[in-house]
Amino acid sequence: MTHHSPIKELKKKLRLEALGRRDALTTETRIEGSMRIADIGLASFALDADAIVSGFWPIRSEVDLRPLLFGLRERGARLCLPVIIDKQTILFRELVRGAPMVETGFGTAGPPAEAAVLDPTFMLVPLAAFDARGHRIGYGAGYYDRAIARLEDKGLNPRLVGVAFDCQEVEIVPDEPHDMPLEAILTESGLRSINRTDKSIR
């Protein structure tokens, strides 16, 4: 695909518009929204006893997932965060209470190199924009699509829940064959399950 394909251009436009709306939220709105997201997630998610939950540390104006992640850890989930290994790859390192955080690329922080690498069973997926069908626009580098494909190649089928603010919704995300649709979207107004015919929800 060329870099000027119509789909890529449209995705870029939708990404920038959605991130512009997110950036425009006040700090108070973001904090309140993040706390609502934590409450809804904790009330809604039924996790297996041995769940390994991947989250993300907030950068720029992202949802602050820490209240939700720490609440899930209280329930026995193991937590992990994405770490950029090279231009193509993210791995998920275990987030252990009290361990130091190090720079992990793109202005994000994550667990240090000696942390265990885990394969998440339940992924809270960052996104720039989403639609009602559960399609997401990431930040443009494709790391999550590749990470999810790699897990599925290993026979793992992690649950995929996108987390965002309502203002990041767009009417339609143009989908491409490599896109990994989400099974649910969690925002400050609730958890929306997507009725998938093509991906079973466990």
Residue positions in the annotated binding site for ATP? 11-15, 136-144
Closest CA to 80 of 94, 100, 90: 94
Q: What's the length of the chain?
A: 202
Which residues are known binding-site members? 11-15, 62, 136-144
Point out the annotated binding site for substrate: 62
User: Which tokens in the block code for residue 161?
Assistant: 């829940």
Residue whose C-alpha is closest to residue 79's, from 89, 91, 70? 70
User: Quick one: three-class SS letters along 124-162?
Assistant: EECCCEECCCCCEECCCCCHHHHHHHHHHHCCCCCEEEE
